[in-house]
Chains A and B, each alone.
Chain A
Amino acid sequence: MMNIQINIDSKTYPAIAQARHHVAIADFKLSLKSGEFVCLVGPSGCGKTTLLNIIAGLDNDYEGDIFVGQAHSHPKIGYIFQNPRLLPWRTVRENIELVLDGNQSPTVIDPLLEVMQLTQSQHVYPERLSVGMSRRVSIIRAFAVDPDVLLMDEPFVSLDAPTARQVRELLLTLWQERPHTVLFVTHDLREAITMADRLIFLSAAPMSVISEITVPISRSERNNESTIEAFRQNLINNYPEIKQLL
């Protein structure tokens, strides 16, 4: 578990060919408590993926600083990308085993495969999987490393509603079993309310925080759709500044 301090003064993309100089993130501040589940809600193209890439350490070309956990230890990050990013030339099981570090036994994968209903398919190559199955593999991969920080970039996009709900519930179960700090990107407000401790609403590019709202609904009531819907209506009525996002 780790707390995270994000402080990005600016992140810009230089002009290339026809594309003009683009400011993706400006004056962005956010802090996450250890073990907190935070959802980022914002319009598409506003820079959410860029933010996750910066936190994951994949993009170092920005002004500002990011602090993840203790200063000298390297945090373990699980990143569920928008597309599954499985290695097509390795089987489902090999794809997951590859991310384990030397101290972890490969058997940690088995219960995860069981939960995600992929035990039958563990020796299949990813090209034979459906989109939903590939996505579940990428979710297992992120959990298998036993991450301190879990980054999720619209992981349920392109899943059909029942599958999405199923995977969402599994995700919450896993998160409650092994708490870690979660940063979850979505543009689906219902989904965000169902999952998050705290909602962060983001502006269009250059991205910054419009408002932060804590979700006071207890975990046991999250399955109740009318409670979620009531909270959503309440948000829409009481926070005019986020209306444009909904």
Chain B
Amino acid sequence: MLAFLAVWQGLAVYSNSNALPAPEVVAKVFWQSCITGQLPFHLGVTLLRLVVSFSIAMLLGCAIGIALGRNKKLDAFFDNWLVIFLNIPALVAIILCYVWFGLVESAAILAVVVNKLPNVIVTIREGTRTLDQDLLDMARCYGFSRRKTLAHVIWPQLHPFIMGATRSGLALIWKIILVVELLGRSNGMGYQLHLFFQLFDVASILAYTIAFVAVIQLIEVMILKPLDKKALRWRR
């Protein structure tokens, strides 16, 4: 980390241009936009969109993924559609959502969900196909309810797949949300970055990027890692 800062500082001094401000300049900008409340506000708005669209995509994706993994006929029917949706460019989905539903919040969320959902479905479907039939038979023979089977037999087996979908999902959704905000929202990180781009304000762009990276690290360390640890405590 220190080495990275040193290299950055060296490059900034050497090039001496607006295109690469020194770390201290970026730190100052970061601090100022924190005090004015600009950065926390836009970061908060983006985070809120992230949470909402991520939750919808994961819930729907898990439900559909499990259904497709468990039911061959359903899977055969939707397989082609899944491939089509997987390959629709993010930009196309975003533009179409805005054109059809207007420049509103729900269209923005929908655009993100449409982009993420097929990935979740495919990951969870693959996971569901690897479920241990012996354990499912055991659950059936002992009369487990659907809820019990899901919570104690299926869910723990899907855990690695769900964590995989979560990690790749967060990365993907961040990127898509910024584009969504850039194209049709008047707040959020994407909107701000667009503004800074027009003003050629590289220091602000870097300050926002750092805030952004910090949040992702926090999510990983505070939420995902503990979840992993708890879910895998049974492993030797």
> Which 10 A-B pairs rank lowest in CB-CB distance, beginning with the nearest?
A125-B234, A89-B156, A99-B142, A85-B138, A89-B234, A79-B141, A56-B141, A127-B236, A58-B137, A85-B134
Mark A106-125 against chain B: 1 for CB-CB distance below 8 A, else 0. 00000000000000000001
Whether B70 sits at the interface, judged by CB under 8 Å, is no
CB pair A98 B148 closer than 8 Å = yes
CB-contacts of B93-141 with A (<8 A): 134-135, 137-138, 140-141
Instruction: Report the minimum CB–CB distance from A40 to chain B (whole Å).
Output: 18
The interface of chain A, by Cβ under 8 A from chain B, is 53, 56-58, 74, 76-77, 79, 81, 83, 85, 87-90, 98-99, 101, 125-128, 141, 145
Q: Whole-angstrom distance from the CB of A90 to the nearest CB of chain B?
A: 6
Max count, chain A CB within 10 A of own CB: residue among B138, B144, B231, B235: B138
Complex CA–CA separation, A53 to B137 (angstroms)? 9
B153 located at the interface, meaning its Cβ lies under 8 Å from any Cβ of chain A in the complex = yes
Smallest beta-carbon distance B70→chain A, Å:
16
Q: How far is the CA of A211 from the CA of B138 in the complex (A)?
A: 31
Cβ of B141 and Cβ of A87 under 8 Å apart? Answer: no
Closest chain B CB from A149 CB (angstroms) = 11
- B138→A81 contact, CB < 8 A: yes
A113 to chain B, nearest CB (A): 18
Q: Flag whether B89 is at the interface (Cβ < 8 A).
A: no
Residues of A within 8 A of B134 (CB): 81, 83, 85
Closest to A83 in B: B134
Residues of B within 8 A of A85 (CB): 134-135, 137-138
A98 adjacent to B152 (CB under 8 Å): yes
A-B contact pairs, 13 of them (CB 8 A): A79-B138, A79-B141, A79-B142, A83-B134, A85-B135, A87-B135, A87-B153, A87-B156, A98-B142, A98-B144, A125-B233, A127-B236, A128-B236
Beta-carbon contact of B141 and A88 below 8 Å = no
CB-CB nearest in chain A for B144? A98
**Which residue of B is nearest A88, CB measured?**
B234
B137 partner residues in chain A, CB cutoff 8 A: 53, 58, 85
Report the bound CA distance from A53 to B134 in whole Å. 11
Docked-complex contact B142 and A90, CB < 8 angstroms: no
Which A residues lie within 8 Å of B233 (CB)? 125
Closest beta carbon of chain A to B141's beta carbon, Å: 5
6 other A-B residue contacts (CB within 8 Å) besides A57-B140, A89-B231: A79-B141, A79-B142, A85-B137, A88-B234, A99-B142, A126-B234
Give which listed residue, A89, A90, A101, A125, contacts B143 with CB less than 8 A: A101
Instruction: Specify the chain A residue showing the minimal Cβ separation from B231.
Output: A89
Residues from chain B with a CB closer than 8 A to the CB of A101 are 143
Q: Can you name the residue of chain A whose Cβ is closest to the Cβ of B156?
A: A89
A144 → chain B, closest Cβ, in Å? 10
Please determine whether B138 and A145 come into contact, CB atoms closer than 8 angstroms.
no
Per-residue 0/1 for B53-64: is the Cβ within 8 Å of any A Cβ (1 yes, 0 no)?
000000000000
Choose one: B141, B144, B152; the contact of A77 (CB below 8 Å): B141
Q: Which of A58, A125, A126, A127 contacts B141 (CB 8 A)?
A: A58
Q: Which residues of B contact A81 (CB under 8 A)?
A: 134, 138
User: Smallest CB-CB separation from A77: which chain B residue?
Assistant: B141
Least Cβ distance of A207 to chain B in Å? 20
Question: Which of A74, A89, A99, A145 has the largest count of B CB atoms less than 10 A from its CB?
Answer: A89
A98–B153 Cα distance when bound, in Å, is 11
Closest CB of chain B to A187's CB: distance in Å?
A: 21
Contact with A along B141-181 (1 / 0, CB 8 A): 11110001000110010000000000000000000000000
B135 smallest CB distance to A (angstroms): 6
Give the residues in chain B near A125, CB-CB below 8 Å.
Answer: 233-234
Q: Which residue of B lies closest to A85 (CB)?
A: B138
CA distance A53 to B135 in the complex (A): 13
Q: What's the Cα separation between A126 and B235 when bound, in Å?
A: 9
A-facing residues in B180-236 (Cβ within 8 Å):
231, 233-236
Chain A residues in 8 Å Cβ range of B153: 87
Q: How far is the CA of A74 from the CA of B137 in the complex (A)?
A: 17
A98 to B135, CA, bound (A): 13
Report the nearest B residue to A94, measured CB to CB: B152
Give Cα distance in the complex from A135 to B33, angstroms.
63
A88 to B138, CA, bound (A): 13
Q: How far is the CA of A47 from the CA of B214 in the complex (A)?
A: 60
- Is there an interface contact between B234 and A145, defined as CB atoms closer than 8 Å? no
CA distance in complex: A14, B142 (Å)? 28
Residues of B within 8 A of A74 (CB): 143
A58 to B138, CA, bound (A): 9
